[in-house]
Structure 1
């Protein structure tokens, strides 16, 4: 007799007697996917603009993304929220970002339902839905959907990937990370990269390896079970890290500048049919200098930064090709639905000149041009955290205006490719129907013939807010089903309705025209003023690049559009409108633990994120390590925080105690004990005593006296004329080793301590000085 199965929750169909010989068994039926159910591969790029992929007219070689487009369709009217975490929340839930509590990145959360950074459980993830349909579910790469105060080993883990429907996870929880020395999490625990950069390590390569491993692990047990892989590259977010040979392929190709890039890309877009033939290129952005106005050294530096970015994107495409070849070789690609999206437009967080180290930018300590030029051959390598100037951001969003963080189309219109050879007959075609990333989940469910669940793990689900565009995949004439969509990002607002688009830019159409920088608060009085005079109106059906403002001519339509924005804002939890960055940054938030003056650490434990560790910058503090030095001596790191981009390290080398402060990668200030440490147990102590005020606006943290003590006796001191003024990024704190990028070239990572560390205590008693504007820039750079 075969196995008898029954659906869980239905009556037991077997028989239960006094003993087994007078009983018959039955089993709860396991969850199995439908026969021949397609696999689902969602690929999320980071900060990749509309005009950067080859198949969207960009000059960068992306043959594997292009091949997906050739075997499917490209959309030229797909929209995102214009920022990272908000977009990613829409992609996985099918709900708007404010409905997800993700008005901005998690680090800018504030105490309102649409802004708190906590995705409600009633907004189920696609992974949770497909898990209930018998799918394996894998998350690989960038997450950035956990509240920032929950990214530590203390949890809670309820909003980590494994708690939101993913069975396996390998990647990083925050907004960015080094591609050479990433902050990696495997399932629910921190791990070190499997190799060093010298051994050929790069994060993109690693993510593809893990993607193939997860699929193979499952298929060798159940080859018929479909998978959902959510692959979120760290690319092409800063730092733009890539092996030099990839960047060198583009040597000289951008020497004619960003204006020429736009013109050439615009022409290719028309030729490819990505944009209508009568499209007009958007204006020269007032915040971007004319290329020819730059001195030759500045042009040379900017060109190299773009060469590195181009190599980074092509390198990403190359490794995606490895995954596609694997799926093809396993006979899986034909029946895999592939969706490719970027989370927002190209990023302008490199500032007007670009930077070799983002930490300098948000610490107000930008290096002068001559120092940047001295490092030009190292850009893209492990020692730097580089980002190109915003002229390339503007060019990367061709033909649109502006960039990431703003709701003009340059920030919110992105490349979108769908390929499913077994289910889509179209090949290489362009689709023009309006769509938004909240439509991805409903479309996938439609293609899979799956209804949105009424409940997930006992939690009643909210309705999906997106609509399916499945009928457009095979029918270019299918009508648009998404008629109205609001936008709001850091006070920058827009509304789309049936071919019209109204935009209320904040602080203005450009920083130059506004006369103020990004991140300014909006008062009730100012909001009323903006609603009266600040809105622009475009007929994007015929003016896709938002060149002709019709607000004065079609006041009737504009008034209706503004009213519609408020209706949508009320429906999806957008209120209160908040244009500030600074206020959100400094507002009191729930913490991982209650504030304290003493922090204790032990070796062989997980590293601590910057926001959860002791704030030692600009204040008196001490670090005391209780250690045991064996007779053979010992060496290694006692405690460190940061990386080659900036940080500090207390360590033992050549038998002596050392402390080094790395000032944003520009200078090293060191103090060392003159005598070799004796064997036995000791208290090894570093103290920092401020000797003057900081000059935070000039990028100079508190100067001070650096002092070393052995068992309470002062053994050495030295002066640090300047320190890191505000933030370390990367900024993890580690006891007993320096994983990843070494804070100082005096040792090679991980430089584990070879003696015994009983405990390291950090005492931060004293007043904390801070620069909230710099903190805002630090968090925004990690989007």
Structure 2
């Protein structure tokens, strides 16, 4: 009893330090002579360190709660939108031929900016967007999948680079992230984390989206916070583009119902329009025949529209069409038919995504919050993608690994283009045209075809020049300081006790007033770098390296010396909006001045060491499977990311399954990595053992036993011997049962770098899509008992 009472009193002392009345306490705690009684029992004094008094009766005590952190008075909601792989000439708002009425609406209620820039690649732009620091400063000199072990390239946003999510959350905002997360290291994708580099660790209370650079919109690799979800399984016609808007709308309704006075920061990043281009058929049908004019005529039309809208100066010159891309009038009828279809589906995806963004904006309006919401809508995180090859493809993972799909083969998918049996991308020629009036495309940081983005902002009552156009030079790092100025929150010196790197961006709010049109650019200098291509802007001039080859060649040829093997160009942007007139030979002193300035900026922001490798950087990042050559699994397993699974690429491997087949025969998947668009599967089909190797949707190689397995225990083995060294080499596979060979064949080639992006390693079941639609549909669970699966891999033979 005495011990119990003492603990009760000590607990009470932790919760109340308010003065007590004479009736409540007979002595002062901390004094050895102080006494108090309950039920006639004397209470001991609390430890001497406590010098206050204690209340024994809750009725006479004063309750107290820790204060809640709230944003500054009048701080707005923030809706930050960024789409994917869309250059300056895509959106109708900036002269494109694709209607974007939601972006139009934001621009009409606020401002359009005509000199706003990305980094030229997906996750680097996004790291800069959410941190307010340059992409190398934030560890994202390249995409996460190509990370290397240098500070500017390790794909880690360290705690010294707190995101805008961290900052706003710590000031009382409800923070959420919808869509693409391309800022988590690939080796941290699994359920074992760590999660400090997931949205939850970057200050976002709620996440609904996908990991990595892309996902299938019909069967996405989708997460709610840290948990994989499969909503399409019971929703016919499901598409993530719509589902994401539904989820964001529901989130806004839930938070508004619970805390209507609490401002929100909603980061909205749809997969559109990164490949795979997956709009619904309804949207595709709207664009039938709209691109029969071809890419050259479309480019001329966009250029004329841009001048009419005033989003390029009247003096702008259209940069020349590149010699290594065909002109439309040189194509044959089949090529024109297929290429027009590629653009129809891409355009449908742009318009579809803009429509769904409009539904989210409309929900803000319905809640009566539009007047106090800063909306920032960035069309594209880089220029339009040239990763579809010069002829396009029905299967994008093939194209980005240098495997072309002839037009004749593409035509077989004409009616299904954009559906769940394709992962399409378009010809580079369309990509170049959608970057009008500039040269080059995504991945090219030296030219505006890779880095110039359309952007609109609105905030009624604060952005007062409704429908205005601003031409100040800005960069994606300028978004965070713009948000901070709007919310009245200062950039913190520490976050969670960790000293912060300075924000490197500059607020764009100085442009918001009616007089802001004529204010000089606050940003005087900005460097650009990606895969060795680089540029430096300063005070109206830009010096740019000449790309050694198009990004569609994947950097697989001979690379120039990254330090001094590039030619440089020079442009006076005050007179030359499109980088048309190269002044390098006329102004050598100016060029040298800017080249020297690039070195200074690069040293300041962790750009060194320069690295112009592209394809061969895959696999350089840390691995969750490093040091392991044997992997053992028991029971059913679904959803293990490829980064945490044994890799079958550029090596020999052996898969051994110990199974117990039920009476009447067995069916179902034993092990699979990937699915319809690449990977492998080991399964029983009508009792027979089958191993299928799917070469990125283009070709399938099949090993099948002649006889169904009898009931009882069996050991099934698939052993593959790789004929390296080198990428994409062939090899010989042997399928055996209980030590007896049942099928053997050699294959001429294998997947070079990436087996899958958005499918998983599964044991005892298959999810998302089958390895071969002709054999089964998912889920194709193994009907027997899988006692153990062992995968043993050899060393890479690069």
TM-score by length of 2: 0.88
Q: Distance in 2 between matches of 1:218 and 1:183?
A: 26
Task: Describe the superposition over 1:542-561 as per-residue Cα deviations: whole angstroms up to 9, x where unpaired.
Answer: 21110111112222222221
Structure 1, residues 653-700: CA drift from partner, whole Å, max 9, x if none? Answer: 3333332222322333333344444444x244131344x847978x6x
Q: Distance in 1 between matches of 2:226 and 2:525?
A: 39
1:92-122 Cα deviation digits (max 9, x unpaired): 0111111111111112222221122211211
Distance 1:427 1:573, change over 3 A: same
Match of 2:6 in 1: none
- List runs of 5+ in structure 2 lacking aligned partners: 1-14, 20-51
> 1:723-754: CA deviations, max 9, x gaps?
53323123521112221121111111122234
Aligned with 2:321: secondary structure?
Answer: coil
C-alpha separation between the residues in 2 aligned to 1:632 and 1:329? 60
Alignment of 1:601-612 (within 5 A): 601-612=633-644
Give the alignment partner of residue 477 of structure 1, picking from 504, 518, 538: 518
Verify the 8 A CA contact 1:81 1:488 in the aligned structure 2.
Answer: yes
Paired positions, count: 743
1:674 and 1:715 in contact (8 A); partners too: no
Choose the corresponding residue for 1:717, options 740, 743, 749: 743
- Residues 31-50 of structure 1 correspond to what in structure 2 (within 5 A)? 31-50=69-88
Q: 2:689 aligns with which of 652, 657, 675?
A: 657
> Does the CA contact (< 8 Å) of 1:250 and 1:307 recur in 2?
yes
State which of 427, 430, 443 in structure 1 corresponds to 2:469.
Answer: 430
Higher Rg of the two aligned structures: 2
Flag the 1:602–1:388 CA change in 2: closer, same or farther, 3 A.
farther
Q: Residues 60 and 703 of structure 1: is their aligned pair in 2 closer, same or farther, counting only changes over 3 Å?
A: same
Deviations 1:202-243 (A, max 9, x none): 111121122122222222221111111111111100011122
| Aligned equivalent of 2:49 | none
| Partner SS state of residue 591, structure 1 | coil
Q: How far apart, CA to CA, are the structure 2 residues paired with 1:152 and 1:225?
A: 33
The equivalent position to 1:756 in structure 2, one of 767, 785, 788, is 785
Query: Which residue does the alignment assign to 1:116?
Result: 154
User: Which whole-Å deviations, capped at 9, do the CAs of 1:174-208 have from their partners, x for residues lacking one?
Assistant: 111111111112111222234468x0111111211
Shift of residue 604 of structure 1?
4.7
Which of 279, 298, 303 is the equivalent residue of 1:261? 298
Check if 1:729 corresponds to 2:756. yes
Q: Evaluate the alpha carbon distance shift between residue 222 and residue 20 of structure 1 in structure 2; reply closer, same or farther with a 3 A threshold.
A: farther
1:217 and 2:254 aligned: yes
Which segments of 5 or more consecutive residues in structure 1 lack a partner in the other structure?
1-10, 771-783
CA contact (8 A) 1:669 1:720 kept: no
Match of 1:284 among 315, 318, 321: 321
Matched, 1:311 2:311: no
Q: Is the 8 A contact 2:689 2:709 kept in 1?
A: yes
Does the aligned pair in 1 maintain the 2:650–2:726 contact within 8 Å? no
**Post-superposition offset of 1:245:** 3.1
1:390-416, CA deviations, whole angstroms, 9 ceiling, x for partnerless residues?
101111111111111112011011011
Alignment of 1:444-463 (within 5 A): 444-463=483-502
The yes-or-no answer on 1:467 pairing with 2:506 is yes
Is the alpha carbon distance of 1:603 and 1:288 closer, same or farther for their aligned partners in structure 2, counting shifts above 3 Å?
farther
Deviations 1:361-388 (A, max 9, x none): 2444423222112222221111122110
Are 1:642 and 2:674 an aligned pair? yes
Equivalent position SS for 1:220: helix
Match of 1:175 among 213, 217, 228: 213
- Alignment CA distance shift 1:688-1:225 (3 Å): same
Q: Is the 8 A contact 2:638 2:760 kept in 1?
A: no
Whole-Å Cα distance in 2 between the matches of residues 620 and 609 of structure 1?
20
Q: 1:490 aligns with which of 500, 518, 531?
A: 531
CA contact (8 A) 1:650 1:657 kept: yes
Q: Which moved more, 1:647-656 or 1:165-174?
A: 647-656
Matches within 5 A, 1:358-757: 358-407=396-445, 408-474=447-513, 475-507=516-548, 517=555, 521=559, 523=561, 527-528=563-564, 530=566, 534-581=567-614, 584-585=617-618, 587=620, 589-617=621-649, 619-631=651-663, 634-680=666-712, 682-690=713-721, 693=723, 701-709=729-737, 712-714=738-740, 716-719=742-745, 721-722=747-748, 724-726=750-752, 727-730=754-757, 732-745=760-773, 746-757=775-786
Q: What's the CA shift for 1:505?
A: 2.5
* Structure 2 equivalent of residue 27 of structure 1: 65
Partner of 1:353: 391
Corresponding position of 1:93: 131
Q: 1:244-259 maps to which residues of 2 (within 5 A)?
A: 244-259=281-296
Q: Summarize the Cα distance change of 1:208–1:705 in structure 2 as closer, same or farther, 3 Å threshold.
A: same
Q: Give the alignment's TM-score, normalised by structure 1.
A: 0.90
CA contact 1:383–1:741 (8 Å) conserved in 2: no
Q: Retained in 2: the 8 A contact 1:235–1:312?
A: yes
Q: What SS class does the counterpart of residue 366 from structure 1 fall into?
A: coil
